Amino acid sequence: MAALRAEVSEYKRVTQTEKKQKADGVWAGNMLGVAASKAQGIRGVGTVAQYRHLLELGVPPNRRALRLADRVFYRTLSRDDDPALAFEFRKPARTNPRLAEWGRQLIRQGITAALARAGWIEDPRVRGAAHRTATDVSHFLRSESAQKPIVRKGSRNMLHPDANPPTLFLVATVAHMPNLQRERAGFVDRLTAYITQPAPRRTFSIMVGRKVVKPTVHLLGEPLAADSAGHPKDLPFALHWIELLVRLKMLERSTVAMRILSRLLKDCDERGVWAPKNLRTIPKSPSRLADFAFPLELDGKTLEQRQADVTFRLSLIARLAEWDLSYT
């Protein structure tokens, strides 16, 4: 293990990611960016995604790059009102205080998910942040707005002003905090029922103060999509989501996830290696929401490199689900 840890520290993806980090512990000056966006003023992949990427690569949580980010994370989780801690929301929030508050809450959720994935699940600051978000979402799940979360405003479909739906960050946080799952079993059951129900077909926006925001991580139902044969529209995200459902012990609640997983397993050969037909490139994610976890392989020049990430994720899902595996 020591030799493997040493090898990970020199892996090109790790060193490339760490070189992009600034001295203040932040990547690309933002927290939640998954890709560069001129419209949102985001120069590149943000701190939460880069932090989670290093963890997925096997970097230990006590590595200097992660500890630098931890300082910023814990300060942001606090009630420090420094405008700089709004990060990508700082500039537009100057004339929109509601956006500053909304953005900080979303950033805190992303940070909590990252710290939970790093294993800091007994830290009172992480536990406190997770329970606060769970309580807010629990109130929403019990409210009338959960039954009709989208309202018509002019020519647009908008999220109900009282709605506080779960996010990908909250689901990831709960998935990596077994103690919270036990302590709030009723909430986890309601949450799972909500995120595995069919999502509204209508696209919607979120009105925050005077600004209309496009939702990226907010969930109004099942986020997965697949064709009748079980081929997912976003394979990297599907693997990430299935892993979260397994950690929640709720995989069987999602018929779409089960259909996708069945398709992926059918495409495995007798050795358990994912081997679909005509695999010419590493699968890409249209949403880019799971880019921090996929791919971990540096390139896809060979067939084995193109197969590696999906095979690894299926193996991890199998281990987490406690399947009886045989190795050849």
Q: Which of 291, 193, 280 is nearest to 235 (CA)?
A: 291
Q: Are 114 and 73 in contact (CB under 8 A)?
A: yes
The pLDDT score that the predictor gives to residue 327 is: 58
Judged on CB neighbours under 10 Å (0-12, 13-18, 19+), 180 is buried
Identify the band that residue 162 occupies on the pLDDT scale cut at 50, 70 and 90: very high
Judged on CB neighbours under 10 Å (0-12, 13-18, 19+), 26 is middle
- DSSP SS3 for 99: helix
Q: At residue 183, does pLDDT exceed 70?
A: yes
Query: What pairs with residue 206 in β-bridges?
Result: 213
Q: What is the mean pLDDT of residues 131-137?
A: 98
Identify the band that residue 119 occupies on the pLDDT scale cut at 50, 70 and 90: very high
Identify the band that residue 4 occupies on the pLDDT scale cut at 50, 70 and 90: confident
pTM of the model: 0.95
Q: Kind of pairing, strands 156-159 and 150-153? A: antiparallel
Give the distance between the most distant pair of CA atoms in the chain.
62
Non-local (6+) Cβ contacts of 280 within 8 A are 306
Non-local (6+) Cβ contacts of 98 within 8 A are 208, 209
- DSSP SS3 for 213: strand
Distance (Å, rounded) from C-alpha 60 to C-alpha 51? 11
Identify the band that residue 317 occupies on the pLDDT scale cut at 50, 70 and 90: very high
Dihedral sign computed on CA atoms, order 136, 142, 147, 152: negative
The pLDDT score that the predictor gives to residue 47 is: 97
Distance (Å, rounded) from C-alpha 163 to C-alpha 140? 6
Judged on CB neighbours under 10 Å (0-12, 13-18, 19+), 122 is exposed
Q: What is the mean pLDDT of residues 256-278?
A: 95
Tokens (6 digits) for 69: 């980010």
The pLDDT score that the predictor gives to residue 231 is: 96
Q: At residue 328, does pLDDT exceed 60?
A: no
Which segments within the chain are labelled E, that is strand?
A: 150-153, 156-159, 206-208, 211-213
Tokens (6 digits) for 79: 């009630």
In the chain, % of residues over pLDDT 90: 83
Q: At residue 260, does pLDDT exceed 70?
A: yes
pLDDT tens string 57-91: 999 999 999 999 999 999 999 988 888 899 999 88
Q: Are 317 and 261 in contact (CB under 8 A)?
A: yes
Q: At residue 38, does pLDDT exceed 80?
A: no
Judged on CB neighbours under 10 Å (0-12, 13-18, 19+), 294 is buried
- The DSSP secondary-structure symbol of 20 reads T
Q: Compute the radius of gyration of the chain from its Cα atoms.
A: 20
Mean pLDDT over each residue of the chain, to the nearest integer: 94
DSSP of 225-244: -B-TT--BSSHHHHHHHHHH
Q: What is the mean pLDDT of residues 214-234?
A: 96
